Amino acid sequence: AGMEGSGDASRAVADWRLALWTLCSVLLPVLITAWCSFQRSRRQLLIRDIFRKSKHDWHYTDLFGQPSYCCVCAQHILRGAFCSCCGLRVSERCLKKADQRFLCKEIMMRGSTGASSSMPHHWIRGNVPLCSCCMVCKQQCGTQPKLCDYRCVWCQYTVHDECMVDSLRTENCTFGEFRDLIIPPYYLSTINQMRKEKRTGYEKVVPYCRKHWMPVMVLANTRSGNNMGEILLGEFKMLLNPVQVFDLSKIAPAKALQLCTWLPCNAVRVLVCGGDGTVGWVLDAIDEMKIKGQERYIPQVAILPLGTGNDLSNTLGWGAGYAGEVPVEQILRNVMEADGIKLDRWKVQVTNKGYYNLRKPKVFTMNNYFSIGPDALMALNFHAHREKTPSLFSSRIINKAVYFFYGTKDCLVQECKDLNKKLELELDGERIELPNLEGIIVLNIGYWGGGCRLWEGMGDEPYPLARHDDGLLEVVGVHGSFHCAQIQVKLANPVRLGQAHTVRLILKSSKMPMQVDGEPWAQGPCTVTITHKTHALMLYHSGEQTDDDDASSLSE
Protein backbone atom coordinates (compact mmCIF):
# COMPACT_ATOMS: atom_id res chain seq x y z
CA ALA A 1 0.00 0.00 0.00
CA GLY A 2 2.87 2.35 0.81
CA MET A 3 4.49 1.66 -2.53
CA GLU A 4 1.20 2.35 -4.35
CA GLY A 5 0.83 5.67 -2.50
CA SER A 6 4.34 6.80 -3.41
CA GLY A 7 3.71 5.78 -7.03
CA ASP A 8 0.54 7.90 -7.20
CA ALA A 9 2.40 10.85 -5.70
CA SER A 10 5.21 10.61 -8.27
CA ARG A 11 2.67 10.39 -11.13
CA ALA A 12 0.88 13.48 -9.78
CA VAL A 13 4.18 15.37 -9.65
CA ALA A 14 4.97 14.29 -13.21
CA ASP A 15 1.55 15.44 -14.35
CA TRP A 16 2.07 18.83 -12.70
CA ARG A 17 5.48 19.18 -14.31
CA LEU A 18 4.02 18.32 -17.71
CA ALA A 19 1.22 20.83 -17.21
CA LEU A 20 3.72 23.49 -16.11
CA TRP A 21 6.01 22.90 -19.10
CA THR A 22 3.02 22.89 -21.45
CA LEU A 23 1.84 26.20 -19.98
CA CYS A 24 5.33 27.69 -20.30
CA SER A 25 5.68 26.49 -23.90
CA VAL A 26 2.37 28.20 -24.74
CA LEU A 27 2.79 31.38 -22.71
CA LEU A 28 6.44 32.09 -23.49
CA PRO A 29 5.99 32.64 -27.27
CA VAL A 30 2.85 34.69 -26.55
CA LEU A 31 4.74 36.88 -24.06
CA ILE A 32 7.71 37.28 -26.41
CA THR A 33 5.37 38.19 -29.28
CA ALA A 34 3.48 40.67 -27.06
CA TRP A 35 6.75 42.21 -25.85
CA CYS A 36 8.08 42.54 -29.42
CA SER A 37 4.77 44.03 -30.54
CA PHE A 38 4.88 46.53 -27.66
CA GLN A 39 8.48 47.50 -28.48
CA ARG A 40 7.60 47.89 -32.18
CA SER A 41 4.58 50.08 -31.37
CA ARG A 42 6.69 52.16 -28.98
CA ARG A 43 9.42 52.54 -31.62
CA GLN A 44 6.86 53.54 -34.26
CA LEU A 45 5.38 56.13 -31.91
CA LEU A 46 8.83 57.61 -31.32
CA ILE A 47 9.55 57.66 -35.06
CA ARG A 48 6.20 59.32 -35.80
CA ASP A 49 6.89 61.90 -33.10
CA ILE A 50 10.26 62.73 -34.71
CA PHE A 51 8.62 62.89 -38.16
CA ARG A 52 5.92 65.25 -36.84
CA LYS A 53 8.31 67.70 -35.13
CA SER A 54 11.07 67.60 -37.74
CA LYS A 55 11.79 70.20 -40.42
CA HIS A 56 12.82 67.33 -42.69
CA ASP A 57 10.16 65.62 -44.80
CA TRP A 58 10.91 62.15 -43.44
CA HIS A 59 9.41 58.97 -44.91
CA TYR A 60 9.99 55.39 -43.78
CA THR A 61 10.76 52.56 -46.20
CA ASP A 62 11.22 48.82 -45.66
CA LEU A 63 13.62 48.57 -48.59
CA PHE A 64 15.69 51.25 -50.33
CA GLY A 65 15.67 51.07 -54.12
CA GLN A 66 19.46 51.39 -54.42
CA PRO A 67 22.51 50.67 -52.19
CA SER A 68 22.23 53.12 -49.28
CA TYR A 69 24.37 54.14 -46.31
CA CYS A 70 23.37 55.84 -43.08
CA CYS A 71 24.48 59.49 -43.05
CA VAL A 72 25.32 59.25 -39.31
CA CYS A 73 27.01 55.87 -38.70
CA ALA A 74 27.99 55.28 -42.36
CA GLN A 75 26.76 51.66 -42.16
CA HIS A 76 25.05 49.94 -45.10
CA ILE A 77 21.26 49.94 -44.57
CA LEU A 78 18.41 48.11 -46.28
CA ARG A 79 15.60 49.98 -44.57
CA GLY A 80 15.20 53.22 -42.66
CA ALA A 81 14.08 56.81 -43.16
CA PHE A 82 14.77 59.23 -46.01
CA CYS A 83 14.02 62.93 -46.49
CA SER A 84 12.17 63.61 -49.75
CA CYS A 85 13.45 67.22 -49.81
CA CYS A 86 17.20 66.95 -49.21
CA GLY A 87 17.77 63.22 -49.82
CA LEU A 88 19.25 62.25 -46.43
CA ARG A 89 19.10 58.51 -45.66
CA VAL A 90 19.41 57.21 -42.14
CA SER A 91 18.98 54.01 -40.15
CA GLU A 92 16.19 53.78 -37.61
CA ARG A 93 18.47 54.01 -34.56
CA CYS A 94 20.33 57.09 -35.92
CA LEU A 95 17.17 59.00 -36.93
CA LYS A 96 17.11 61.33 -33.92
CA LYS A 97 20.83 62.20 -34.30
CA ALA A 98 20.42 62.89 -38.03
CA ASP A 99 17.38 65.08 -37.41
CA GLN A 100 19.37 67.22 -34.95
CA ARG A 101 22.66 67.25 -36.86
CA PHE A 102 21.65 67.97 -40.47
CA LEU A 103 19.66 70.90 -41.88
CA CYS A 104 17.05 70.32 -44.56
CA LYS A 105 16.43 72.58 -47.57
CA GLU A 106 15.40 76.03 -46.35
CA ILE A 107 12.38 77.31 -48.26
CA MET A 108 13.11 80.80 -46.94
CA MET A 109 16.46 82.06 -45.65
CA ARG A 110 16.47 82.56 -41.91
CA GLY A 111 18.03 85.56 -40.23
CA SER A 112 18.24 87.56 -43.47
CA THR A 113 18.52 91.21 -42.53
CA GLY A 114 18.76 92.70 -46.00
CA ALA A 115 18.26 91.96 -49.68
CA SER A 116 20.39 89.02 -50.74
CA SER A 117 20.99 87.70 -54.22
CA SER A 118 23.05 84.58 -53.53
CA MET A 119 23.54 81.66 -51.17
CA PRO A 120 26.25 78.99 -50.72
CA HIS A 121 25.95 75.36 -51.74
CA HIS A 122 24.17 73.03 -49.32
CA TRP A 123 26.25 69.85 -49.38
CA ILE A 124 24.95 66.42 -48.26
CA ARG A 125 27.44 63.54 -47.98
CA GLY A 126 26.78 60.12 -49.50
CA ASN A 127 24.04 58.34 -51.46
CA VAL A 128 24.67 60.43 -54.58
CA PRO A 129 22.56 59.63 -57.67
CA LEU A 130 23.79 56.81 -59.89
CA CYS A 131 25.83 57.90 -62.94
CA SER A 132 26.48 61.39 -61.51
CA CYS A 133 29.78 63.10 -62.37
CA CYS A 134 32.11 65.19 -60.22
CA MET A 135 31.92 68.90 -61.04
CA VAL A 136 35.70 69.19 -60.52
CA CYS A 137 37.34 66.18 -62.19
CA LYS A 138 34.33 65.10 -64.34
CA GLN A 139 34.71 61.46 -63.23
CA GLN A 140 31.81 59.31 -61.96
CA CYS A 141 30.80 59.74 -58.32
CA GLY A 142 29.39 57.23 -55.83
CA THR A 143 31.27 54.23 -57.24
CA GLN A 144 32.70 53.04 -53.89
CA PRO A 145 30.59 50.74 -51.63
CA LYS A 146 30.55 53.14 -48.68
CA LEU A 147 29.26 56.55 -47.59
CA CYS A 148 31.23 58.82 -49.89
CA ASP A 149 31.14 61.97 -52.05
CA TYR A 150 28.93 65.06 -51.79
CA ARG A 151 25.80 66.42 -53.50
CA CYS A 152 24.37 69.95 -53.36
CA VAL A 153 20.64 69.74 -52.63
CA TRP A 154 19.91 72.81 -54.79
CA CYS A 155 22.01 72.59 -57.96
CA GLN A 156 22.36 68.74 -57.77
CA TYR A 157 26.11 69.00 -58.54
CA THR A 158 28.25 66.19 -57.08
CA VAL A 159 31.86 66.23 -55.86
CA HIS A 160 34.32 63.48 -54.82
CA ASP A 161 35.54 63.47 -51.23
CA GLU A 162 39.08 64.13 -52.44
CA CYS A 163 37.92 66.94 -54.80
CA MET A 164 36.02 68.80 -52.07
CA VAL A 165 38.00 71.92 -51.07
CA ASP A 166 37.16 74.79 -48.73
CA SER A 167 36.43 77.12 -51.64
CA LEU A 168 33.60 74.82 -52.79
CA ARG A 169 32.04 74.83 -49.32
CA THR A 170 31.66 78.62 -49.42
CA GLU A 171 31.09 79.03 -53.17
CA ASN A 172 27.72 80.48 -54.22
CA CYS A 173 25.22 77.97 -55.62
CA THR A 174 24.06 78.54 -59.22
CA PHE A 175 20.92 76.32 -58.78
CA GLY A 176 22.07 74.23 -61.72
CA GLU A 177 20.10 73.31 -64.82
CA PHE A 178 16.73 74.39 -63.41
CA ARG A 179 17.78 77.83 -62.13
CA ASP A 180 15.05 79.42 -64.28
CA LEU A 181 12.35 77.30 -62.57
CA ILE A 182 13.50 77.40 -58.93
CA ILE A 183 12.29 80.02 -56.44
CA PRO A 184 15.43 80.78 -54.36
CA PRO A 185 15.02 81.01 -50.55
CA TYR A 186 16.64 84.46 -50.50
CA TYR A 187 14.03 85.75 -52.97
CA LEU A 188 11.15 84.72 -50.69
CA SER A 189 12.91 86.29 -47.68
CA THR A 190 13.34 89.59 -49.51
CA ILE A 191 9.74 89.69 -50.82
CA ASN A 192 8.41 88.78 -47.37
CA GLN A 193 10.36 91.66 -45.81
CA MET A 194 9.15 94.08 -48.50
CA ARG A 195 5.53 93.03 -47.91
CA LYS A 196 5.89 93.63 -44.17
CA GLU A 197 7.23 97.11 -44.91
CA LYS A 198 4.49 97.63 -47.57
CA ARG A 199 7.08 98.29 -50.25
CA THR A 200 6.68 97.50 -53.95
CA GLY A 201 9.26 97.35 -56.72
CA TYR A 202 9.67 93.58 -56.79
CA GLU A 203 11.18 93.87 -60.27
CA LYS A 204 14.51 94.97 -58.73
CA VAL A 205 14.84 91.77 -56.71
CA VAL A 206 17.00 88.90 -58.02
CA PRO A 207 15.96 86.71 -59.83
CA TYR A 208 12.73 88.68 -60.54
CA CYS A 209 14.79 90.97 -62.76
CA ARG A 210 16.33 88.05 -64.69
CA LYS A 211 14.90 87.89 -68.21
CA HIS A 212 14.29 84.13 -68.55
CA TRP A 213 13.07 83.37 -65.02
CA MET A 214 9.82 81.37 -65.24
CA PRO A 215 9.18 79.85 -61.78
CA VAL A 216 7.16 76.63 -61.85
CA MET A 217 4.62 75.40 -59.33
CA VAL A 218 3.79 71.69 -59.05
CA LEU A 219 0.26 70.75 -57.96
CA ALA A 220 -0.08 66.96 -57.55
CA ASN A 221 -3.19 64.95 -56.78
CA THR A 222 -1.98 61.86 -54.89
CA ARG A 223 -5.38 60.18 -55.38
CA SER A 224 -5.40 60.31 -59.18
CA GLY A 225 -5.34 57.22 -61.40
CA ASN A 226 -2.28 55.07 -60.75
CA ASN A 227 -1.30 56.64 -57.37
CA MET A 228 2.05 57.97 -58.63
CA GLY A 229 1.45 61.40 -57.10
CA GLU A 230 3.24 60.57 -53.82
CA ILE A 231 6.43 59.50 -55.61
CA LEU A 232 6.37 62.57 -57.89
CA LEU A 233 5.95 64.94 -54.93
CA GLY A 234 9.23 63.72 -53.45
CA GLU A 235 11.12 63.85 -56.75
CA PHE A 236 9.99 67.42 -57.49
CA LYS A 237 10.84 68.55 -53.93
CA MET A 238 14.38 67.24 -54.48
CA LEU A 239 14.86 69.32 -57.65
CA LEU A 240 12.93 72.48 -56.73
CA ASN A 241 12.23 74.55 -53.64
CA PRO A 242 9.74 72.47 -51.55
CA VAL A 243 7.55 75.59 -51.25
CA GLN A 244 6.80 75.22 -54.99
CA VAL A 245 5.38 71.69 -54.62
CA PHE A 246 1.83 71.15 -53.31
CA ASP A 247 -0.17 68.05 -52.42
CA LEU A 248 -3.77 68.76 -53.48
CA SER A 249 -5.07 66.20 -50.98
CA LYS A 250 -3.83 68.53 -48.21
CA ILE A 251 -4.19 72.03 -49.69
CA ALA A 252 -6.79 73.40 -52.12
CA PRO A 253 -5.58 74.81 -55.48
CA ALA A 254 -7.02 78.26 -54.69
CA LYS A 255 -4.76 78.54 -51.63
CA ALA A 256 -1.69 77.10 -53.38
CA LEU A 257 -2.04 79.53 -56.31
CA GLN A 258 -1.70 82.53 -54.00
CA LEU A 259 2.05 81.97 -54.29
CA CYS A 260 1.70 83.44 -57.80
CA THR A 261 1.14 86.88 -56.25
CA TRP A 262 4.74 86.76 -54.90
CA LEU A 263 6.13 86.10 -58.37
CA PRO A 264 6.52 88.03 -61.66
CA CYS A 265 3.35 88.82 -63.61
CA ASN A 266 2.54 86.49 -66.53
CA ALA A 267 5.68 84.39 -65.91
CA VAL A 268 4.57 81.54 -63.64
CA ARG A 269 4.01 78.05 -65.03
CA VAL A 270 1.92 75.46 -63.17
CA LEU A 271 2.41 71.73 -63.67
CA VAL A 272 -0.74 69.82 -62.71
CA CYS A 273 -0.04 66.16 -61.89
CA GLY A 274 -3.39 64.38 -62.09
CA GLY A 275 -6.30 63.50 -64.31
CA ASP A 276 -8.55 65.80 -66.35
CA GLY A 277 -10.74 66.31 -63.27
CA THR A 278 -7.75 67.65 -61.32
CA VAL A 279 -6.90 70.00 -64.21
CA GLY A 280 -10.49 71.31 -64.19
CA TRP A 281 -10.25 71.87 -60.42
CA VAL A 282 -7.09 73.97 -60.87
CA LEU A 283 -8.59 75.94 -63.79
CA ASP A 284 -11.64 76.75 -61.63
CA ALA A 285 -9.28 78.11 -58.95
CA ILE A 286 -7.56 80.24 -61.62
CA ASP A 287 -10.97 81.65 -62.62
CA GLU A 288 -11.44 82.64 -58.95
CA MET A 289 -8.19 84.62 -59.19
CA LYS A 290 -9.71 86.61 -62.05
CA ILE A 291 -12.76 87.40 -59.91
CA LYS A 292 -10.46 88.61 -57.11
CA GLY A 293 -8.73 91.02 -59.51
CA GLN A 294 -5.51 88.97 -59.71
CA GLU A 295 -5.65 88.55 -63.48
CA ARG A 296 -2.07 89.73 -64.04
CA TYR A 297 -0.80 86.84 -61.89
CA ILE A 298 -2.62 84.15 -63.91
CA PRO A 299 -0.22 81.22 -64.63
CA GLN A 300 0.05 79.01 -67.69
CA VAL A 301 -0.88 75.37 -67.07
CA ALA A 302 0.96 72.21 -68.15
CA ILE A 303 -0.25 68.67 -67.44
CA LEU A 304 1.39 65.45 -66.25
CA PRO A 305 -1.38 62.88 -66.91
CA LEU A 306 -2.01 60.53 -63.96
CA GLY A 307 -5.74 59.92 -64.50
CA THR A 308 -7.64 57.27 -66.47
CA GLY A 309 -8.78 59.05 -69.66
CA ASN A 310 -6.41 62.05 -69.87
CA ASP A 311 -8.05 63.38 -73.06
CA LEU A 312 -7.20 67.02 -72.34
CA SER A 313 -3.57 66.09 -71.70
CA ASN A 314 -3.52 64.15 -74.98
CA THR A 315 -4.99 67.10 -76.89
CA LEU A 316 -2.29 69.43 -75.53
CA GLY A 317 0.56 67.05 -76.41
CA TRP A 318 1.39 65.81 -72.88
CA GLY A 319 0.50 62.18 -73.63
CA ALA A 320 -2.24 59.71 -72.76
CA GLY A 321 -0.83 58.63 -69.40
CA TYR A 322 2.32 58.78 -67.26
CA ALA A 323 3.73 55.69 -65.52
CA GLY A 324 7.24 56.84 -64.61
CA GLU A 325 8.80 56.15 -68.01
CA VAL A 326 10.09 59.75 -68.38
CA PRO A 327 12.55 61.12 -65.76
CA VAL A 328 11.30 64.06 -63.70
CA GLU A 329 14.19 66.15 -65.02
CA GLN A 330 12.91 65.69 -68.58
CA ILE A 331 9.40 66.67 -67.50
CA LEU A 332 10.75 69.97 -66.17
CA ARG A 333 12.65 70.54 -69.44
CA ASN A 334 9.41 69.94 -71.35
CA VAL A 335 7.62 72.52 -69.17
CA MET A 336 10.36 75.07 -69.89
CA GLU A 337 10.17 74.49 -73.66
CA ALA A 338 6.35 74.33 -73.98
CA ASP A 339 4.44 76.98 -75.95
CA GLY A 340 1.54 79.00 -74.57
CA ILE A 341 -1.93 78.48 -76.12
CA LYS A 342 -5.56 79.18 -75.22
CA LEU A 343 -8.23 76.66 -74.27
CA ASP A 344 -11.95 77.42 -74.59
CA ARG A 345 -13.95 76.83 -71.39
CA TRP A 346 -17.73 76.47 -71.57
CA LYS A 347 -20.67 77.05 -69.26
CA VAL A 348 -23.13 74.12 -69.07
CA GLN A 349 -26.49 75.08 -67.54
CA VAL A 350 -29.02 72.35 -66.74
CA THR A 351 -32.56 73.64 -66.02
CA ASN A 352 -35.09 71.09 -64.77
CA LYS A 353 -38.56 71.09 -66.36
CA GLY A 354 -41.77 71.60 -64.40
CA TYR A 355 -44.16 74.39 -63.45
CA TYR A 356 -43.37 74.15 -59.76
CA ASN A 357 -39.62 73.74 -60.03
CA LEU A 358 -38.04 76.27 -57.65
CA ARG A 359 -34.54 74.82 -57.61
CA LYS A 360 -31.69 76.79 -59.15
CA PRO A 361 -30.28 75.47 -62.43
CA LYS A 362 -27.20 73.26 -62.17
CA VAL A 363 -24.16 75.03 -63.60
CA PHE A 364 -20.97 73.24 -64.67
CA THR A 365 -17.77 74.36 -66.36
CA MET A 366 -16.72 72.20 -69.31
CA ASN A 367 -13.19 71.79 -70.64
CA ASN A 368 -13.42 68.50 -72.55
CA TYR A 369 -16.91 67.35 -73.49
CA PHE A 370 -20.54 66.92 -72.50
CA SER A 371 -22.46 63.76 -73.36
CA ILE A 372 -25.81 62.09 -72.93
CA GLY A 373 -26.19 58.37 -73.67
CA PRO A 374 -24.07 55.21 -73.46
CA ASP A 375 -20.68 56.73 -72.58
CA ALA A 376 -22.31 58.78 -69.79
CA LEU A 377 -23.99 55.56 -68.57
CA MET A 378 -20.60 53.80 -68.44
CA ALA A 379 -19.14 56.73 -66.47
CA LEU A 380 -22.14 56.68 -64.08
CA ASN A 381 -21.80 52.94 -63.41
CA PHE A 382 -18.03 53.27 -62.97
CA HIS A 383 -18.48 56.19 -60.58
CA ALA A 384 -21.04 54.28 -58.47
CA HIS A 385 -18.76 51.23 -58.30
CA ARG A 386 -15.74 53.34 -57.30
CA GLU A 387 -17.71 55.08 -54.54
CA LYS A 388 -18.51 51.66 -52.98
CA THR A 389 -14.98 50.20 -53.16
CA PRO A 390 -12.41 52.97 -53.84
CA SER A 391 -9.45 50.76 -52.89
CA LEU A 392 -10.01 48.59 -56.01
CA PHE A 393 -9.56 51.53 -58.39
CA SER A 394 -5.86 52.24 -57.85
CA SER A 395 -4.70 51.21 -61.34
CA ARG A 396 -5.34 52.74 -64.75
CA ILE A 397 -5.62 49.23 -66.26
CA ILE A 398 -8.28 48.16 -63.74
CA ASN A 399 -10.23 51.37 -64.35
CA LYS A 400 -10.27 50.80 -68.11
CA ALA A 401 -11.26 47.14 -67.60
CA VAL A 402 -14.28 48.25 -65.55
CA TYR A 403 -15.25 50.72 -68.32
CA PHE A 404 -14.95 47.88 -70.85
CA PHE A 405 -17.20 45.65 -68.71
CA TYR A 406 -19.96 48.25 -68.48
CA GLY A 407 -19.64 49.07 -72.20
CA THR A 408 -20.08 45.38 -73.09
CA LYS A 409 -23.07 45.14 -70.77
CA ASP A 410 -24.74 48.15 -72.46
CA CYS A 411 -24.24 46.55 -75.90
CA LEU A 412 -26.63 43.83 -74.74
CA VAL A 413 -29.08 45.87 -72.65
CA GLN A 414 -29.25 49.13 -74.72
CA GLU A 415 -30.60 51.30 -71.90
CA CYS A 416 -30.35 54.52 -73.96
CA LYS A 417 -32.12 53.46 -77.16
CA ASP A 418 -34.54 55.81 -79.00
CA LEU A 419 -32.78 58.93 -77.68
CA ASN A 420 -33.81 60.84 -80.82
CA LYS A 421 -37.48 60.45 -79.76
CA LYS A 422 -36.82 61.84 -76.28
CA LEU A 423 -34.50 64.73 -77.19
CA GLU A 424 -34.42 67.89 -79.30
CA LEU A 425 -31.13 69.46 -80.45
CA GLU A 426 -30.50 73.10 -81.44
CA LEU A 427 -27.21 74.41 -82.84
CA ASP A 428 -26.95 78.23 -82.77
CA GLY A 429 -30.76 78.38 -82.51
CA GLU A 430 -31.41 76.07 -85.47
CA ARG A 431 -33.17 72.79 -84.74
CA ILE A 432 -31.42 69.68 -86.07
CA GLU A 433 -33.35 66.62 -87.25
CA LEU A 434 -31.88 63.63 -85.45
CA PRO A 435 -31.47 60.17 -86.97
CA ASN A 436 -31.91 57.04 -84.85
CA LEU A 437 -29.35 57.54 -82.04
CA GLU A 438 -28.51 56.33 -78.52
CA GLY A 439 -26.12 59.12 -77.58
CA ILE A 440 -24.99 62.70 -78.33
CA ILE A 441 -21.51 64.03 -77.52
CA VAL A 442 -20.55 67.73 -77.52
CA LEU A 443 -16.78 68.14 -77.96
CA ASN A 444 -14.46 71.03 -77.09
CA ILE A 445 -11.17 69.14 -77.57
CA GLY A 446 -9.79 66.76 -80.19
CA TYR A 447 -9.62 63.61 -78.08
CA TRP A 448 -12.41 61.64 -76.42
CA GLY A 449 -12.82 58.27 -74.67
CA GLY A 450 -9.20 57.80 -73.61
CA GLY A 451 -7.36 58.64 -76.84
CA CYS A 452 -9.86 58.56 -79.74
CA ARG A 453 -10.15 61.48 -82.19
CA LEU A 454 -13.93 61.31 -82.34
CA TRP A 455 -14.73 64.16 -84.78
CA GLU A 456 -12.24 62.92 -87.40
CA GLY A 457 -13.35 59.28 -87.05
CA MET A 458 -11.59 57.12 -89.64
CA GLY A 459 -10.20 60.25 -91.31
CA ASP A 460 -11.62 59.29 -94.70
CA GLU A 461 -14.00 62.25 -95.06
CA PRO A 462 -13.09 65.95 -95.53
CA TYR A 463 -14.46 67.71 -92.45
CA PRO A 464 -13.22 70.91 -90.75
CA LEU A 465 -10.70 69.86 -88.11
CA ALA A 466 -11.60 70.23 -84.44
CA ARG A 467 -9.81 72.95 -82.47
CA HIS A 468 -9.84 73.80 -78.77
CA ASP A 469 -9.42 77.57 -79.18
CA ASP A 470 -11.87 78.58 -81.97
CA GLY A 471 -14.99 79.18 -79.88
CA LEU A 472 -16.76 76.31 -81.65
CA LEU A 473 -18.16 73.05 -80.34
CA GLU A 474 -18.32 69.84 -82.39
CA VAL A 475 -21.53 67.81 -81.94
CA VAL A 476 -21.69 64.12 -82.89
CA GLY A 477 -24.10 61.25 -82.39
CA VAL A 478 -23.48 57.54 -81.73
CA HIS A 479 -25.70 54.52 -82.33
CA GLY A 480 -24.67 52.76 -79.11
CA SER A 481 -21.79 51.30 -77.09
CA PHE A 482 -20.74 48.99 -79.94
CA HIS A 483 -20.61 51.96 -82.33
CA CYS A 484 -18.41 53.82 -79.79
CA ALA A 485 -16.04 50.84 -79.71
CA GLN A 486 -15.91 50.75 -83.53
CA ILE A 487 -15.04 54.48 -83.65
CA GLN A 488 -12.23 53.99 -81.11
CA VAL A 489 -10.54 51.38 -83.30
CA LYS A 490 -11.21 53.38 -86.52
CA LEU A 491 -13.73 50.98 -88.00
CA ALA A 492 -16.56 53.54 -88.16
CA ASN A 493 -17.29 57.27 -88.28
CA PRO A 494 -19.51 59.13 -85.82
CA VAL A 495 -22.75 60.76 -86.93
CA ARG A 496 -21.52 64.34 -87.37
CA LEU A 497 -24.36 66.71 -86.48
CA GLY A 498 -22.49 70.00 -86.87
CA GLN A 499 -20.40 72.75 -85.26
CA ALA A 500 -21.83 75.64 -83.24
CA HIS A 501 -21.08 78.48 -80.81
CA THR A 502 -24.13 77.63 -78.68
CA VAL A 503 -25.68 74.20 -78.15
CA ARG A 504 -29.12 73.54 -76.66
CA LEU A 505 -30.53 70.10 -75.79
CA ILE A 506 -34.10 69.57 -74.58
CA LEU A 507 -34.79 66.24 -72.84
CA LYS A 508 -38.57 65.87 -73.12
CA SER A 509 -39.20 62.64 -71.21
CA SER A 510 -37.64 59.88 -69.05
CA LYS A 511 -34.41 59.93 -67.05
CA MET A 512 -31.09 59.74 -68.95
CA PRO A 513 -27.41 59.55 -67.89
CA MET A 514 -25.36 62.71 -68.54
CA GLN A 515 -21.76 63.69 -67.88
CA VAL A 516 -19.52 66.76 -68.00
CA ASP A 517 -15.79 65.96 -68.15
CA GLY A 518 -16.25 62.55 -66.58
CA GLU A 519 -18.56 63.71 -63.75
CA PRO A 520 -21.80 61.75 -64.36
CA TRP A 521 -25.34 61.94 -62.99
CA ALA A 522 -28.84 60.70 -63.86
CA GLN A 523 -31.04 63.52 -65.18
CA GLY A 524 -34.79 63.83 -65.67
CA PRO A 525 -36.56 66.11 -68.21
CA CYS A 526 -34.57 69.33 -68.59
CA THR A 527 -32.99 71.88 -70.89
CA VAL A 528 -29.18 71.86 -71.28
CA THR A 529 -27.61 75.06 -72.63
CA ILE A 530 -23.88 75.23 -73.45
CA THR A 531 -22.33 78.68 -74.02
CA HIS A 532 -18.78 80.05 -74.10
CA LYS A 533 -17.48 81.10 -70.68
CA THR A 534 -13.80 82.09 -70.84
CA HIS A 535 -10.33 81.11 -72.03
CA ALA A 536 -7.67 79.29 -70.01
CA LEU A 537 -3.94 79.81 -70.59
CA MET A 538 -2.41 76.39 -71.23
CA LEU A 539 0.98 75.03 -72.30
CA TYR A 540 1.29 72.86 -75.41
CA HIS A 541 4.10 70.30 -75.71
CA SER A 542 4.80 69.47 -79.35
CA GLY A 543 7.15 66.58 -78.57
CA GLU A 544 4.48 64.12 -77.35
CA GLN A 545 2.11 62.64 -79.92
CA THR A 546 -0.18 59.61 -79.92
CA ASP A 547 -1.30 57.44 -82.81
CA ASP A 548 -2.82 60.29 -84.85
CA ASP A 549 0.38 62.31 -85.26
CA ASP A 550 -0.44 64.10 -88.47
CA ALA A 551 -4.07 64.87 -87.68
CA SER A 552 -3.16 66.05 -84.21
CA SER A 553 -0.50 68.46 -85.41
CA LEU A 554 -2.87 69.91 -87.98
CA SER A 555 -5.74 70.36 -85.54
CA GLU A 556 -3.62 72.10 -82.94
Enumerate residues 6+ apart whose C-beta is below 8 A from 50: 58, 95, 96, 99
| pLDDT score at 549 | 43
Q: Place 368 in a pLDDT band, splitting at 50, 70 and 90.
A: very high
pTM of the predicted model, to two decimals?
0.85
Q: Give the Cβ contact number of residue 511 at 10 Å.
A: 12
Q: For residue range 198-233, what is the model confidence (pLDDT) as tens digits?
A: 887 777 777 776 778 999 999 999 887 666 888 899
Going by C-alpha positions, the residue among 532, 488, 551, 522 that lies closest to residue 367 is 532
* 405, pLDDT greater than 80: no
Comparison of pLDDT for 324 and 77, the residue scoring more: 77
Q: Give the Cβ contact number of residue 530 at 10 Å.
A: 24
Query: What's the rounded mean pLDDT across residues 93-116?
Result: 80
* 114, pLDDT greater than 70: no
Q: Place 432 in a pLDDT band, splitting at 50, 70 and 90.
A: very high
What 3-state DSSP class applies to 229? helix
DSSP 340-402: EEEEEEEEEEEEE--TT--SPPEEEEESSEEEESHHHHHHHHHHHHHHH-GGG---HHHHHHH
Exposure letters 200-212 (e unless 16+ CB within 10 A, then b):
eebeebebbeeee
Order of strands, sheet of 89-90, starting from the edge strand that comes earlier in the sequence = 58-61, 80-83, 89-90
| pLDDT score at 534 | 94
Residue pair 536/283 in contact (Cβ under 8 Å)? The answer is yes
| pLDDT score at 552 | 40
> If 0-12 CB within 10 Å is exposed, 13-18 middle and 19+ buried, where does residue 31 land?
exposed
Q: Please, what sign has the CA dihedral across residues 222, 228, 234, 235?
A: negative
Domains belonging to the chain, first-starting first, are 47-105 (3.30.60.20), 345-535 (2.60.200.40)
Q: Give the Cβ contact number of residue 90 at 10 Å.
A: 26
Instruction: Report CA Rg, the chain.
Output: 31
Helices (H) and strands (E) in the chain, counts: 14, 24
Q: Which backbone phi and psi does 477 adopt, to 5 degrees? A: -120, 155
CA distance 30 to 24: 10
Q: For residue range 149-171, what is the model confidence (pLDDT) as tens digits?
A: 999 999 999 999 999 988 888 89
Q: For residue range 315-341, what is the model confidence (pLDDT) as tens digits?
A: 999 998 898 889 999 999 999 999 999
Angle of CA points 189, 240, 56, to nearest 5°: 75
Q: Place 408 in a pLDDT band, splitting at 50, 70 and 90.
A: low
Q: Place 397 in a pLDDT band, splitting at 50, 70 and 90.
A: low
| pLDDT score at 36 | 82
| pLDDT score at 2 | 54
* 413, pLDDT greater than 60: no
* 543, pLDDT greater than 80: no
* 475, pLDDT greater than 90: yes
Q: For residue range 488-534, what is the model confidence (pLDDT) as tens digits?
A: 888 888 999 999 999 999 998 888 999 999 889 999 999 999 999 99
CA distance 213 to 240: 14
| pLDDT score at 189 | 87
* 550, pLDDT greater than 60: no
Q: Which backbone phi and psi does 151 adopt, to 5 degrees? A: -140, 135
